[in-house]
Amino acid sequence: MKSQTFIQLIKIGFLGLVLAGLLLAQSNPIPVASLRGVNFSCAALLDREQGDRKGIDDEPADWLPRSFRLMAESGINTARVGYYWESYEKNPARFLAALREIAALSAKHQVRVIFTFFQWETTSFWDFKPRGGGFPSRLMKAYPNKGTRDETQSPFYEDLWNNAITQDGKTVWQLILDLQLKVVEQVDGMATVFGYEILNEPHILDYAQFEKLGAFHTFLAAGLRARTGKTLFFDMSYPTGPLKSGRDRTPENEIKIVPKGIGNLIYAPHLYAAPVGNNWGSQQLSLFKAVAAGWGLPLLMGEFGVGLTEKRRMSEYPFQNDVDAFLDGFRGAGFLGGVYWCWGLNPYMPEGLRVINGSYEFSPVFQYLLKRWASR
């Protein structure tokens, strides 16, 4: 029965893609075809309550205006801008001012922006390496460090997906929506604000949580849609702990996470394995395409990157082949485009993912990517 339902969803995919394309054309002044994007890091939005401040204190004073000018001059037409809840808690005035400045710069330089409710490794409250960021300590104090990251995060995500956390008389889903609506209130009037992403890389640690994540996505999307007509984005599931992305992120599971009954959506998964032949990267592209077609949704690669490491240096690795494989794969799978990771100064970032440095010099990988984008 599940497979029959999925096949029926695939059959209506083409009509849904056409309708979604019409909605996008009406709601965005910049054409979405050949989207060329970067993930953009802003210290005021990604500051953490705990841990070191490397990459935060390194941000130049002219980081925002100069970055957006360079994006426009380089042919970048979209920036995905992440923000941590804990950054808002740490300094609300600074956080909100940064949102307004980014929105104004996006309009000035005609670079579309997507504001993303971000987490990476959940929170800085947990003292694991690498230290994460996202959810604030006032929420996480009920989930102290245990022996391992998996043991620590499991009860939190179980309660998060069950909407079982309450503070100040509000459920955690409502608290998240309240913050996202604050973001909307600050920036929604700018035509170059492309839209809002519900949650970056939501962790799934149990098969029942796929459907619960879908309920979470639906609640947040409905609350946002009541206040904005902008495009809403949602990420792929992120199976972790006892689950594995390559095994458990299947079309049948992934289809459960789609927000229900909401228009003008884009599915924006991530990929860090260049799709070559029938490798894992190619298999993931096929999965993403199937999920999007099943619900009639446009596809955007919300993050991608060439994951070079100290053991695999640029001087020894033909990264051009990976960049070519990504772009050819996106085009073949019908993606609107891709958003490269990352325009930021995080010193821990692998070499191939570092777009720019503090002197505003582009990396060789990003220079090649820009050249390929310009030739299309």
Question: What is the residue-wise DSSP string for 280-302?
Answer: HHHHHHHHHHHHHHHHT--B-EE
pLDDT at position 245, please?
Answer: 79
- The DSSP line for 194-241 is EEEES-SS-EE-STTHHHHHHHHHHHHHHHHHTT--SEEEEPPPEE-T
CA angle, 273 then 277 then 280, to 5°: 35
Give the per-residue pLDDT at 146.
87
The per-residue pLDDT for 312 is 59
pLDDT for residue 26:
41
pLDDT tens-place string over residues 167-222: 999 999 999 999 999 999 999 999 999 999 999 999 999 999 999 999 999 999 99
pLDDT at residue number 316: 66
Cis peptide bond prior to 42, omega within 30° of 0 = no
The count of other CB atoms within 10 Å of the CB of residue 7 is 10
| pLDDT at 246 (0 to 100) | 75
Does 237 score more than 90 pLDDT?
yes
Residues in the chain: 376
pLDDT at residue number 318 = 82
> Residue 222, class by beta-carbon neighbours within 10 Å (0-12 exposed, 13-18 middle, 19+ buried)?
middle
C-alpha 37/C-alpha 40 separation (Å) is 9
Report the chain's mean pLDDT, rounded to a whole number.
89
Give Cα 195 to chain centroid, integer Å: 12
Q: What's the pLDDT score for residue 16?
A: 41
According to the model, what pLDDT value does residue 34 have? 80
As given in the structure block, the two tokens for residue 118 are 């971000």
Q: What are 262-319's pLDDT values in tens digits?
A: 999 999 999 999 999 999 999 999 999 999 999 999 999 999 998 755 555 656 678 8
Confirm or reject CATH 3.30.1490.190 for domain 2-374, answering yes or no. Answer: no
Q: What is the pLDDT of residue 8?
A: 45
Q: Which residue has the higher pLDDT, 10 or 327?
A: 327
List, for residues 310-363, the tens digit of each pLDDT value. Answer: 555 656 678 899 999 999 999 999 999 999 999 998 877 777 788 998 899 999
pLDDT higher than threshold 50 for residue 6: no
Contact between 10 and 64 (Cβ < 8 Å): no
Give kind and range of the element (H or E) at residue 369. Answer: helix 364-374
Strands 170-171 and 166-167: antiparallel
- The predicted pLDDT at position 54 comes to 64
CA angle 118, 120, 123 (to 5 degrees): 95
Q: What is the pLDDT of residue 3?
A: 45
Q: What's the pLDDT band for 52 if we cut at 50, 70, 90? A: confident
Task: Work out the burial of residue 90: count CB atoms within 10 Å of its CB; fewer than 13 is exposed, 13-18 middle, 19 or more buried.
Answer: middle
Q: Which helix (H) or strand (E) holds 37?
A: strand 35-40
**Is the distance from CB of 265 to CB of 297 less than 8 angstroms?**
yes
Q: In this predicted structure, what is the pLDDT of residue 315?
A: 61
Question: Would you state the pLDDT for residue 207?
Answer: 95
Q: What is the pLDDT of residue 25?
A: 40
Predicted confidence at residue 303, as pLDDT, reads 97
Q: Is the pLDDT of residue 19 over 50?
A: no
Amino acid 313: pLDDT: 61
Burial pattern 195-219, b for ≥16 Cβ within 10 A else e, equals bbbbbbbbbbbeeebbebbbbbbbb
pLDDT over 70, % of the chain: 88
- pLDDT tens, position by position, 129-168: 888 999 999 999 999 988 899 999 999 999 999 999 999 9
Instruction: For the chain, give every domain's residue range.
Output: 2-374
